[in-house]
Amino acid sequence: MNNPSPTLPGMVGLSLALWFAAGCGDGITGNGDGDLDIRVSNIAVLDYANNADASDIRVSFNTPAEADAVDGFRVIVVKNSAVAGFDLETALQLSADRYHELPRTTTGEDVELPSALLDAGGDAVVEGASYQVVVLSVAAQPDNQESQLSEFSSAFALERTSLVSTLATNIQGGSGGVALDADGNIYMADFGATLSFPDGDRVFKITPQGQVSVFATGFMGASGNDFDSQGNLFQSNIGGQSISKIAPDGSTSIFASGSPIVNTVGIYIDEADELYVADCDGGQILHVDAGGTVSVYVRSALFSCPNGITRDDDGNYYTSNFYNGDVLKITPEKDVSLLTTLPGDNNGHLTYHEGSLYVIARSVHRIYKVSLDGDAEIFAGSGQRGHRDGSVLQASFSFPNDLVFSDDGTRLYVNEVAPLTGATTMIAPCNIRVIEIIE
């Protein structure tokens, strides 16, 4: 659920959303002459879930400096049509089922409203209706201090949309590739602690319930990966000039190594179990046959650390550059052309699903949906670095890297960097996020 945003054009089939800063609505104060200012400020509303009631709403606000003069706070949802007539007296007379009460000690961050909460008019909070939020600061000493109302938030309406949640946190490895097995388990490669030293030696297994374990070891900068038809996981070693084969039991062997490999990253495996591999500093796409023989599939001056690789239904391959924002198309005739350029000059991996590409614009913390004609639109991510769950355009990511769809297309798994501070080259530990797709 989220609110349409005029600032993010071009979305198809998904509603857009924003955090709504206070100060845009009609201000109401119950401030008497000489009273302390105990109003909250900067009310923000997040459409968080798809429950079609008040529990979809998260509210944040700044508490007043004079918090000792407050007995508590009441969060009130008001229909847009009732805002003009809503005043302090009305707020004070509301029954307890029409406000959500918070103690004076609240931080005001990410306040979850209860599902049974009614709006100020006594009606259920529903999808499609337009609302604003206001907060009543209840005076601790009403004989000496008047209770006060905040300004209203901006208007919002709950709508059903795709949602981002967090499956696993602080996985102790760097953000390499992610792949999915036939049972729905996610496999995340450990690239290493930093981009500068790709020395990660593990592949983690994450169950659909978020349980994390080490699946295999013995790598050197584990980066991109993919499964073949037999359930073997093929794992690039960006620091080891090789590709490893991991059997279903976790045993590992070197499948391909040496020239012309420079430092392999993304892997795509076709129906014949042959590999097509993005080779970053080699500026090339490699082909590895089922016997492990490596050859150059195509080189191009347009490759600038080709990172991820995928293929569409017509046999065209696509790769995303890590050193710039270009997404490139490679025809079956091996013609390479620019499909589109994404913001940030630093792409992660990409994948193909039902006629579109999904590409990570890593440094702007977003995922783009790109048509096969090159039209790009924001699919997920507010653009702010963070780990906020919620609707796809309100949620935030932190340097996401790779992504993979579930077999039924209802979930998209994404790995990202867990730390929110420090050097941007630091890529460990990691989180796994899940986007539940609502069409």
Q: What is the pLDDT of residues 121-162, one digit of tens each?
A: 999 999 999 999 999 999 999 988 999 999 999 999 999 999
What is d(CA 377, CA 371) in angstroms, rounded to the nearest whole number?
9
Superfamily of domain 163-436, CATH level 4:
TolB, C-terminal domain (2.120.10.30)
Tokens found for residue 329: 């198309």
pLDDT on residue 96: 98
Q: Is the pLDDT of residue 15 over 80?
A: no
Q: How sure is the predictor about 380, in pLDDT bands with cuts at 50, 70 and 90?
A: very high
pLDDT of 331-354, one tens digit each?
999 999 999 999 999 999 999 999
Characterize 238-270 residue by residue with b for buried, 16 or more Cβ atoms within 10 angstroms of its Cβ, and e for exposed.
Answer: bbbbbbbbbeeeeebeebbeeeebebbbbbbbe
pLDDT on residue 175: 97
Q: List Cβ neighbours of 153 (8 Å cut-off, separation of 6 or more).
A: 20, 21, 22, 24, 25, 43, 44, 45, 59, 132, 133, 134
State how far the alpha carbon of 438 is from the alpha carbons of 158, 161, 163, 372, 391, in Å: 14, 6, 8, 22, 10
Determine whether 174 is exposed, middle or buried from the number of CB atoms within 10 Å of its CB (0-12, 13-18, 19+): buried
pLDDT of 182-198, one tens digit each?
999 999 999 999 999 99
User: Helix or strand or coil: residue 67?
Assistant: helix
Q: Give the pLDDT mean for 96-106.
A: 97
CATH classification (class only), 41-157? mainly beta
At which residue do the structure tokens 């997920």 appear? 380
pLDDT on residue 58: 97
Q: Is the pLDDT of residue 283 over 60?
A: yes
At which residue do the structure tokens 């963070």 appear? 386
Percent pLDDT > 70 in the chain is 92
pLDDT on residue 144: 85
With contact defined as beta carbons under 8 Å apart, do 41 and 22 qualify? yes
pLDDT on residue 3: 39
Q: Is the pLDDT of residue 6 over 70?
A: no
pLDDT on residue 22: 37
Question: pLDDT higher for 121 or 23?
Answer: 121
Residue ranges in 116-213 assigned as alpha helix (H): none
pLDDT on residue 143: 87
Question: pLDDT higher for 432 or 23?
Answer: 432
Q: Is the pLDDT of residue 26 over 50?
A: no
Q: Is the pLDDT of residue 7 over 70?
A: no
One-letter amino acid of 355: G
Which residue ranges make up each domain of the chain? 41-157, 163-436
pTM score, two decimals? 0.87
pLDDT on residue 417: 98
CATH topology identical between 41-157 and 163-436: no
Q: Give the pLDDT mean for 367-372.
A: 98
Q: Is the pLDDT of residue 109 over 70?
A: yes
Q: Give the pLDDT mean for 93-116.
A: 97
Q: How sure is the predictor about 19, in pLDDT bands with cuts at 50, 70 and 90?
A: very low
What is d(CA 216, CA 24) in angstroms, rounded to the nearest whole number?
54
Q: Give the pLDDT mean for 309-320.
A: 98
